[in-house]
Amino acid sequence: MKYVNKSNVPIISEYKENMTEKDLKDLALQLRRDVIELTKYSGTNSSHLGGELSLADIMAVFYGKILKLDPKKPNWGKRDRFILSKGHCSGLQYTAMAWRGFFERGKLWNEFNRIDGKLEEHANMELEGIDAPTGSLGMGLSNGCGMAWGAKLKYKHKIPPYSVYTILGDGECTEGQTWESIMFASQHKLDNLIAIVDYNKYIISASIYEIMDLEPFFDKWEAFGWYTQRINGHDVTQISNAIEKAKKYETAPGKPRVIIADTIKGYPISFMMEDAINWHAGHLDERLYKKCMKELGLCVQK
């Protein structure tokens, strides 16, 4: 289907093999601009911007460099599995999928949060390229465990030909099901499972420290038998290096892997970072839309 181009956002990034650090930074900027534009044309004029912006560098590394996939064959059996457990931030994943060629870019501005569109606020598997529904938070790691365990059983004593990645929010790391999954993965030695936590320190109503303090977060994952790394989640080189290390079997045979990515909610939009509690989700009027784009280096006229 062809769409009328509503977007003010120029394309500054295209996929290529062996993307450089600069390429990945450009892609992260592209995704941030695109998710602001997506929000402007949303059926509700809103999205979960705070967490989408904190995740953009991580998402850029995944779709620009890490994920083994083929947009022309979205159900290819040997593709990497990718689960966005913090599914309310699906708008960002849609921008990455459009950039990578899963669907026409114009779909972003015409189908997000609309009754006649497939780009729902929480992604589901009606959209090719989505590996798991993410309507309820706290279930993504369970899905990841099932996929990783299934691959282990299928390939028996061989290393599975794909990895399973799950991106979690810190809020869902307060839930019991997440910790049951963490124990399950360790018990079954799921070393083909990699979890990444977007640790932006806020959930919907307050900081994580006020609601359910996760610290010492690193030590808890280690104590549960996971190979654990902690990085700056806005540094594409650190993100890339950590994932590359985590996906190697020889890094920690028999251990599932987790990367705790320290991020800032709403990054790098000034008024969102200063008022993170009120920008878990939010509406953009014309003034705020233009302010966001200006801070992302783009002046829009309409």
Residues pairing with 47 in the sheet? 282
Residues pairing with 119 in the sheet? 112
Closest by Cα among 167, 196, 213, 198 to 265: 198
What's the pLDDT score for residue 222?
98
State both tokens at 160.
């599975």
Spatial distance between the Cα atoms of 123 and 21, rounded to a whole number of angstroms: 29
Contact 53, 272 (CB under 8 A): yes
Tell me the angle at which helices 236-246 and 21-40 cross, rounded to the nearest 10 degrees. Answer: 110
Spatial distance between the Cα atoms of 220 and 79, rounded to a whole number of angstroms: 31
Instruction: Name residues of the chain where pLDDT drops below 50.
Output: none
DSSP for 52-95 reads: HHHHHHHHHHIIIII----TTSTT-TTSPEEEESSGGGHHHHHH
Spatial distance between the Cα atoms of 264 and 51, rounded to a whole number of angstroms: 9
The amino acid present at 140, given as its one-letter code, is G
What's the pLDDT score for residue 6?
79
What's the pLDDT score for residue 70?
97
- CA distance between the termini of the chain: 25
What's the pLDDT score for residue 177?
96
Spatial distance between the Cα atoms of 240 and 59, rounded to a whole number of angstroms: 11
User: Structure pTM?
Assistant: 0.97
**Widest CA span of the chain, in angstroms?**
59
Domain limits of the chain? 22-295
96 C-beta neighbours (distance < 10 Å), count: 25
Q: Is 199 helix (H, G, I), strand (E, B) or coil?
A: strand
Closest by Cα among 59, 46, 78 to 198: 59
Spatial distance between the Cα atoms of 137 and 89, rounded to a whole number of angstroms: 11
CATH tag for 22-295 (out of 3.40.50.1000, 3.40.50.970, 3.30.420.10, 3.40.50.300): 3.40.50.970
What's the pLDDT score for residue 302?
60
